[in-house]
Amino acid sequence: METGNVIHRTQIERGTTALYVSSKGDLTVWSNLQKAYAETDLVISSLTQWGDEPDIPHFLTVDTYFTRIKEFRSQIADLQRTNITVPEVIKFYSDDNDVIIKWVGRRIQFSKSSELWKTLMGYYMLILSKEQAGVERALGSTFYAQGGFDRRQLLDYLERKILGKSYLERCQEYSSKVKTYLENNYLGGSTDVDVQRMRDEILYGALNGSDVETGTLWFSKMTKFLNVLKAIQDSLALDTVNGLQEEVENMTDALIESLCVMVVALILFPLVIIAVYRLTSRIQAYAQNLQERTRDLDVERKRSETLLFELLPASVAQMLLNHQDVPPVSYPAVTVFFSDIVGFTAICSRSTPMQVIDMLNSLYRMFDDIIDTFDVYKVETIGDAYMVASGLPRQNVDGHASEMAAMALEVRTKLSVMTVQHLAGESLRMRIGMNSGPVVAGVVGHKMPRYCLFGDTVNVASRMESTSLRE
């Protein structure tokens, strides 16, 4: 908890200092900065433990760390001479906070209890989220103080905002207590509404000059948000302490029982040692397995998203991932292509199922390589039938017919040299049908959604294919 308090106070000092620098020495902000200094000094002076970081000189002791902060404060006090910038302020405090946060991460590795490990991971993710939100607060204050952002500053702000949100979501995965607390004490409240409004203003708005007063308001609102996170952080820290105490009590009871058993049955001592070792190993294995499952879950989620983008157009897939309804879309000018293999049933009767699959796989790979070079979209394949469209989902009013015709000619050229490998002397022939006109496209189904086309244009193209001359 002491480490968390130091991080929290330096985050506030960082944000206030950034606002002071960006406001070019506003006296009101300077007064708030003096208060922040005093509160930071209090938590640092009350530290009873300190980490071990021999490679960083000013982290050797609390005194060396405190001295470095005071030296930096003296440069801020002489701002007109030193000309310190906001990025330099953020880097100074953030670099030190990163070191302290790493201490927390290293200590989590020594936890052997699965439940305590989850609480500690939630605590660690919350500290990371607070750190990013603290930098976001400082950058947002700069936005109002200087009257806007350049491109680099906007990207930096957006990165911090996204990282803070991502870490907070991960924290809620490890501890349901976090989500409950946010819903009861922050989400939907006036502070949440104001922060979201001002975030949108920073991302999309533009100011007509410096506005230190609004910058101070932003700082105040974000501080309230950070205070909510600090309250959650303290609660998780208390849960950790209670969990440790409970573990100590449980271990003490277990030790007493073990001693009694050893006195009563000393001859069974080797078996008891083996049992304790196996029990400890299982607990460690469970914690490691939980971490691996979390990582595997992220991998599978990304794999599922990738597969969805392969099955559906990118715009449609993104709407489904966002849990949005996908309304049907009418396209005024589209060319639809159908094809199938002549005598496919006869070929199948002379082939094994594996040979049929290999033949279709070779054919469709050739098709897929071709369509990648044209402005067309592969709709679906059913057996030996192949359906392609041009002009959707990206409309191509003037070139859809020429793109499809060029693709069809390329297919004919490549098909002319293909043979059925397992049937000597047997070549593939194909029927092709195309038609241009309006279509309606939409997603059909929920568990296995399909992107389907409807309209007379589709029907005519299909009939042209089924009644066309054999190639």
pLDDT tens sequence across 389-413: 998 888 888 889 999 999 999 988 8
Average pLDDT over the chain, rounded to an integer:
84
108-121: string of b/e by CB count within 10 Å (b at 16+)?
A: beebebbebbbbbb
Return the closest-CA partner of residue 384 out of 419, 416, 339: 339
| Single-letter amino acid code for the residue at 430 | M
Q: Which residues pair with 340 in a beta bridge?
A: 431
pLDDT at position 461 over 80: yes
* CA dihedral angle for residue 224, residue 225, residue 226, residue 230, rounded to 10 degrees: 90
Of the three residues 259, 282, 311, the one that is the final residue of a domain is 311
Q: Which residues pair with 255 in a beta bridge?
A: none
Structural domain that includes position 74: 2-243
Q: How far is CA 93 from CA 16, 34, 97, 140, in A?
A: 12, 16, 6, 16
Q: Are 216 and 33 in contact (CB under 8 A)?
A: no
47 belongs to a structural domain: yes
Which is more confidently placed, 438 or 244? 438
Please give the order of strands across the beta sheet that includes 377-382: 377-382, 385-390, 329-341, 430-444, 450-454
Q: Are 195 and 164 in contact (CB under 8 A)?
A: no
pLDDT at position 1 over 70: no
Predicted structure pTM score: 0.47
Look up the CATH number of the domain holding residue 441: 3.30.70.1230
pLDDT tens sequence across 80-131: 788 888 888 888 888 888 887 777 777 776 665 566 778 888 888 888 888 8
Per DSSP, the chain holds a count of helices (H) and strands (E) of 16, 5
pLDDT at position 471 over 60: no
State the burial class of residue 292 (Cβ atoms within 10 Å of its Cβ: 0-12, 13-18, 19+). exposed
Q: Which residues pair with 437 in a beta bridge?
A: 334
Q: Which residues pair with 337 in a beta bridge?
A: 388, 434
Q: What span, in angstroms and rounded, lies between the C-alpha atoms of 275 and 262?
A: 13
Which is more confidently placed, 96 or 39? 39
Which is more confidently placed, 15 or 305? 15
Same domain, 214 and 274: no
pLDDT at position 334 over 90: yes
Same domain, 229 and 259: no
318 belongs to a structural domain: no
Confidence of residue 162 (pLDDT cuts 50, 70, 90): very high
Confidence of residue 440 (pLDDT cuts 50, 70, 90): very high
Confidence of residue 248 (pLDDT cuts 50, 70, 90): confident
Confidence of residue 209 (pLDDT cuts 50, 70, 90): confident
Total domain count, the chain:
3
For residue 467, give every residue at least 6 positions away whose Cβ sits within 8 Å of its Cβ, in sequence order, or none.
433
Same domain, 116 and 260: no
Same domain, 448 and 363: yes
- Long-range contacts of range 1-6, CB-CB < 8 Å, 24 or more positions apart? 1/234, 1/237, 1/238, 1/241, 2/43, 2/46, 2/47, 2/48, 2/49, 3/100, 3/103, 3/104, 4/127, 4/230, 4/233, 4/234, 4/237, 5/43, 6/43, 6/44, 6/47, 6/100
pLDDT tens sequence across 376-388: 998 888 877 889 9
Return the closest-CA partner of residue 390 out of 410, 372, 374, 414: 374
